[in-house]
């Protein structure tokens, strides 16, 4: 293998591909990135066997291809090496003896490579009629829900994010069973066959980081895996086995108390109240609504207590005294971009619902915590 | 105690004073910041018994003083509380029962306080004829040397920084016995009595962070402590017991090889060569000079090797093959602001000297490492 390529092009592609490398991976060859150079271009592939990311750099974007071939270059230093190279053009040269020389005029790295024969045969093949989603829409959906996934392996299905597409309605849900985030968006093109899959949350977060430009993403759903294609990138992840809990019934439809308030004011007050409960697992704060006022307070026996007062827009008779996790509330509020929000309540044991005031597509749910 | 103060004024002073709080402190009351309010103003004091930092806010800078008094407020949350307060004016109120209410119109923190009777009697009293140093000069001196102190408690004296003032020459040295950094500056006013003290390195670094404006620092040297005064801040630290090793003989005066080169080019090459030796304690790289060329290389058995070539300005007959710690070299190079540097060498076991090309006031020394 022998070629030369612009540093910026290689770096951009490596930055995306390296998301397929897992620190938990135990198969040595999968610590490497596969460089496959043909006359058509350079394919880069990284995989941890559950997640595979591939990018393709067309030959016209490669400065010079002298000799094709395949190399597995250890991923550990490659990004930093390329980032620090002092030249705009970087040369790669390998005579096939499991070594590669990466060099410019005045510096060279000679790296040991992994054996391409050990690399699993990973094919990322797309379908005929994939789902089509705008990248910014998909990015927003993942962004507004993925934080709510569970990190407990006790119920593996909750470590995933639920993608449900019925006709042209794309619904995305994540929950750790203490809170839930749900987002609906409308697709331009309805799907032919309805979709209901659960994708590993830690993988979908990597996809979200890749989606930076306003382009189209196609989603190819197979039996046990899903392949996203975006620009020159293929992103494939396994689908989690098992069925996602039906979350529709968890979200109340009738409410006794409606509170309208400014998102930033509320978030700042919660943040301040949470200060003294830092370091505690749940960092519980109390919220009291009375006489059109919201009083938020927290108490930490050794340190002291704090109280915040907010004027809120609600019914005169709306009274409630409810406790919840400040962290969960702040994370839910972060997903909302609107200035005004609506908090919907029934009593101190029923779920707390937070919504943008004028946007029905996003629902944030937090279970209250009993403190007595 | 009852007063109101501008948030920005209090925050700036707390940010300085809190440097006196140590995470290793075991005396409960020293986790607190002492607020002492008199008609003259507010004194803030924090101490870990080795280091004490005090600031004074004049009464004219305090919005309102209704009742004087003394409080010890736990330092753990105070900075964050003040930073997050939603109002420009912050009120403090305490009725003397070891509690304080910190509040604005719509929020309040009620914090438990520590007992002022438990707080040690710390007096920061200055001398008649202190040493006078410009703050930017002192900041530079500390900056260019303090990184070289030892973090090994095996030889406690080397965890300090040596301040030596003879007449109007202020010499500052730090060494961990593998490298050394030495800076000389000229004072405007000579000292009456020569000074030779060793100050704990971790304390002097805190002083360096406080010195931000171009003002005067006075240094008051006592038997076992030194007090710096700067603007409204008093900074006192104990002097380390024992005498600092005589480092003058360590720095060679004659050299066989003189290499002139660009600091950035050299630092970048060392940085690139060091990449593959990351994670190793010493991250040793080799430097070879031959035919007016410098070749830097490193080798990591599992990963590979790297080689950098630099054209340098040196004598044709200057040949050397020497190994050193890339980290030490990069830290030494960081202290030099000049574009061009001079590397002075004798042989592969004698110290490596690095200097700015046209500035005799700074000397960086690194011991080579034998690799065979």
Does residue A211 register a pLDDT over 80? Answer: yes
Q: Which of A81, A90, A106, A270 to mutate to test the interface with B (most CBs of B within 10 A)?
A: A106
Which of B85, B107, B304 is the closest to A309 by Cβ? Answer: B107
CB B3 within 8 A of CB B64: yes
| Whole-angstrom distance, CA of residue A301 vs CA of residue B164 | 50
Which of A77, A304, A308 is the closest to B111 by Cβ? Answer: A304
Give contacts of A 231-290 with B, CB under 8 A: 268-269, 271-272, 275-276, 278
What digits encode the pLDDT tens for the residues A332-354?
999 999 999 999 999 999 999 99
Across the interface, whether the CB atoms of B111 and A81 are under 8 A apart is answered: no
User: Computed over its alpha carbons, how large is the radius of gyration of chain B?
Assistant: 25
Helices (H) and strands (E) in chain A, counts: 6, 25
Q: What angle do CA A328, A299, A366 make, to 5 degrees?
A: 20
Domains within chain B, CATH numbers bracketed: 2-118 (3.10.150.10), 131-248 (3.10.150.10), 252-366 (3.10.150.10)
Identify the H or E element spanning B259: strand B257-262
What digits encode the pLDDT tens for the residues A62-96?
999 999 999 999 998 999 999 999 999 999 999 98
The contacts of residue B45 (CB under 8 Å, 6+ apart) are B17, B20, B33, B34, B36, B52, B53, B54, B122
| Whole-angstrom distance, CA of residue B204 vs CA of residue B51 | 10
- Please state whether A232 falls in left (phi above 0), alpha (psi between -120 and 50) or beta: alpha
For A299, the closest chain B residue by CA position comes to B110
CA distances from B163 to B141, B159, B199, B365 (A): 10, 13, 8, 18
Does residue A259 register a pLDDT over 70? Answer: yes
pLDDT at position A23 is 85
| Whole-angstrom distance, CA of residue B190 vs CA of residue B218 | 13
Does residue A26 register a pLDDT over 90? Answer: no
| pTM of full prediction above 0.90 | yes
Across the interface, whether the CB atoms of A109 and B271 are under 8 A apart is answered: no
Proportion of chain A above pLDDT 70, given as a percent = 99
The interface predicted TM-score of the complex, written ipTM, equals 0.89
Token code pair at residue B334 = 């960081």
| Cα distance between the two ends of chain B | 69
Q: Which residues of B219-242 are buried (b: 16+ CB within 10 A; e: fewer)?
A: bbbeeebbbbbbbbbbbbbbbbee
Give strand pairing partners of B92.
B3, B102
Does residue A131 register a pLDDT over 80? Answer: yes
Q: Which of B31, B272, B304, B310 to mutate to test the interface with A (most CBs of A within 10 A)?
A: B304
Token code pair at residue A80 = 């930093």
Query: How many CB atoms lie under 10 A from the CB of residue B168?
Result: 12
| Whole-angstrom distance, CA of residue A314 vs CA of residue A335 | 23
For B106, the closest chain A residue by CA position comes to A309
Which of A86, A110, A302 is the closest to B112 by Cβ? Answer: A302
CB A114 within 8 A of CB A72: yes
| Whole-angstrom distance, CA of residue A53 vs CA of residue B159 | 49
Which of A80, A106, A302 is the closest to B275 by Cβ? Answer: A80
Does residue A372 register a pLDDT over 70? Answer: no
Helix (H, G, I), strand (E, B), or coil: what is residue A275? helix
Across the interface, whether the CB atoms of A107 and B276 are under 8 A apart is answered: no
Which of B111, B307, B309 is the closest to A303 by Cβ? Answer: B111
Across the interface, whether the CB atoms of B80 and A306 are under 8 A apart is answered: no
pLDDT at position A319 is 95
The CA distance from B356 to the nearest CA of chain A, in Å, is 23
CA distances from B258 to B249, B324, B326, B357 (A): 20, 17, 20, 11
Does residue A281 register a pLDDT over 70? Answer: no
Proportion of chain B above pLDDT 90, given as a percent = 90
Question: What is B18-43 written as a DSSP string?
Answer: GGG--TT---GGGGEEEEEE-SSEEE
Does residue A239 register a pLDDT over 90? Answer: yes
Weakly modelled stretches of chain B, pLDDT under 50 = none
The CA distance from B336 to the nearest CA of chain A, in Å, is 21
């Amino acid at each position: 293998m022998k070629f030369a390529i612009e540093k910026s092009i290689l770096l951009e592609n490596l930055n995306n591909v390296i998301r397929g490398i897992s620190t938990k991976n135990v198969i040595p060859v999968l610590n490497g990135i596969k460089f496959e150079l043909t006359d058509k271009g350079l394919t880069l592939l990284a995989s941890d066997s559950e997640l595979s990311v591939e990018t393709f750099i067309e030959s016209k974007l490669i400065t010079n291809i002298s000799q094709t071939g395949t190399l597995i270059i250890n991923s550990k230093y490659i990004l930093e090496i390329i980032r620090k190279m002092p030249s705009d053009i970087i040369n790669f040269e390998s005579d096939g003896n499991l070594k590669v020389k990466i060099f410019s005029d005045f510096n060279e790295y000679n790296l040991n490579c992994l054996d391409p024969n050990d690399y699993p045969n990973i094919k990322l093949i797309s379908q005929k009629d994939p789902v089509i989603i705008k990248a910014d829409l998909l990015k927003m959906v993942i962004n507004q829900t993925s934080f709510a996934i569970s990190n407990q392996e006790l119920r593996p299905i909750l470590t995933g994010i639920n993608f449900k597409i019925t006709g042209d309605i794309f619904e995305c849900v994540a929950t750790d069973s203490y809170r839930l985030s749900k987002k609906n968006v409308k697709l331009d093109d309805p799907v032919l066959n309805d979709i209901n899959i659960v994708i590993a949350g830690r993988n979908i977060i990597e996809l979200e980081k890749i989606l930076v430009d306003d382009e189209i993403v196609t989603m190819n759903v197979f039996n046990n895996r899903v392949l996203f294609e975006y620009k020159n990138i293929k992103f494939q992840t396994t689908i989690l086995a098992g069925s996602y809990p039906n979350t529709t019934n968890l979200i109340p439809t009738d409410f006794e108390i409606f509170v309208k308030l400014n998102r930033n004011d509320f978030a700042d007050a919660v943040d301040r109240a949470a200060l003294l409960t830092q370091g505690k697992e749940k960092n519980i704060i109390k919220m009291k609504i009375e006489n059109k006022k919201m009083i938020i307070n927290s108490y930490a026996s050794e340190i002291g207590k704090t109280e915040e007062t907010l004027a809120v827009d609600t019914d005169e008779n709306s009274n409630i005294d409810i406790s919840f996790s400040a962290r969960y509330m702040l994370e839910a509020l972060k997903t909302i971009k609107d200035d005004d929000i609506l908090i919907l309540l029934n009593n101190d044991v029923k779920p707390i619902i937070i919504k943008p005031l004028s946007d029905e597509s996003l629902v944030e749910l937090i279970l209250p915590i009993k403190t007595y």
